[in-house]
Amino acid sequence: MYYFASDVHLGAGDPAQARRVERRFAAWLDRVGDDAEAIFILGDLFDFWFEYRRVVPQGFVRILGRLAALTDRGVRVVFITGNHDMWVGDYLHRECGVEVHTAPLEIALAGRRLFLAHGDNLKIERRPLLRFMNAVFRSRPLRWLFARCVHPDLALRFGQWWSGKSRKSHRNYVSDDRTTDPLVAYAREYAAASSERPDCFIFGHMHWPRDYAADGLRVLCLGDWSAERPVYAAIDPEGCASLREWS
């Protein structure tokens, strides 16, 4: 089995809330770990993450321990970073054996061709401001400078404040499938332009679960983990994909 989850936002909210979400996701990892060939985390695992050469943020040990235990057992864990954890470096790979990607990933699983992405920064060419901000945020020299000049406690405090602000500002104004229409539109354009058309697209980011299937296009959008019953995706050995609720 292959499993897909996104937008856990570990550390978000007050400490009690953050712990609740951490336990929820830990229980899910325990369950899917039983029969998983691979587990894909499609971004925003952390509400904020910034790592120094020898310093990482406190917390999340239930999750980090489980990820390490999974990869120790030979379960493949793939993490595509999102807009809240774009500063993940090599710590998760070195310590937990997680395969980290900072861009969308095309991959063949169970005889299906999949396109996996967090869902931010798609079609960025036509948005100069977003492109500029991305260049700044993702710039390696700036990251290096930031890590050398800003004390970790200060950096984390700023980052957590910024993440909370951004999360709240992105809270959906329309609570229906229209929220994920841009992802479906992106998938349609991408499929039309590619020689090897993906059988299924899986995205996170919008915190709005949706199973879209029309005109040979299949798009799965995952839910977020602040929900009582988070929605994740599964693909069975026959290549059959579905959204599922975790409770």
Does 47 contact Mn ion by CB under 5 A?
no
Q: Write the DSSP assignment of the chain as a string of letters.
A: -EEEE----BT-SSHHHHHHHHHHHHHHHHHHHTT-SEEEE-S-SBSS----SS---S--HHHHHHHHHHHHTT-EEEEE--SSSTT--SHHHHHH--EEESS-EEEEETTEEEEEE-SSSTTGGG-HHHHHHHHHHH-HHHHHHHHHHS-HHHHHHHHHHHHHHHHHHTS-SS-SGGGGHHHHHHHHHHHHH-SS--SEEEE-SS---EEEEETTEEEEE---TTSSS-EEEEE-TT--EEEEE--
Q: How far is the CB of 39 from Mn ion (least distance, A)?
A: 18
Indicate whether 120 belongs to the interface with Mn ion (CB under 5 A): no
Residue 43 near residue 118, CB atoms below 8 Å = yes
Minimum distance from CB of 224 to Mn ion (Å)?
Answer: 6
Please give the residue whose beta carbon sits closest to Mn ion in the complex.
Answer: 44
Q: Which is nearer to Mn ion, 7 or 199 (CB)?
A: 7
Least separation in angstroms between residue 44's CB and Mn ion is 4
Q: Could you tell me the smallest distance in angstroms from the CB atom of residue 43 to Mn ion?
A: 7
Rounded least distance, CB 118 to Mn ion, Å: 8
44 binds Mn ion (CB under 5 A): yes
Q: Which is closer to Mn ion, CB of 85 or CB of 199?
A: 85
Q: Which two tokens stand for residue 112?
A: 């299906």
Distance CA 202, CA 221 (A): 6
CB of 210 to Mn ion, least distance (A): 15
Cβ-based nearer residue to Mn ion, 86 or 96: 86
Q: Which is nearer to Mn ion, 22 or 44 (CB)?
A: 44
Is residue 22 near Mn ion by the rule CB under 5 A?
Answer: no
Interface region with Mn ion, contact rule CB under 5 A, candidates 6-14, 68-76, 214-222, 227-235: 6-14
d(CA 44, CA 119): 11
Listed ranges 37-45, 54-62, 88-96, 183-191: which one lies at the site for Mn ion (CB under 5 A): 37-45
Count, residues near Mn ion per rule CB under 5 A: 2
Using CB under 5 A, pick the residue from 2, 3, 5, 7 that binds Mn ion: 7
170/197 with CB nearer Mn ion: 170
Contact residues toward Mn ion (CB under 5 A) are: 7, 44
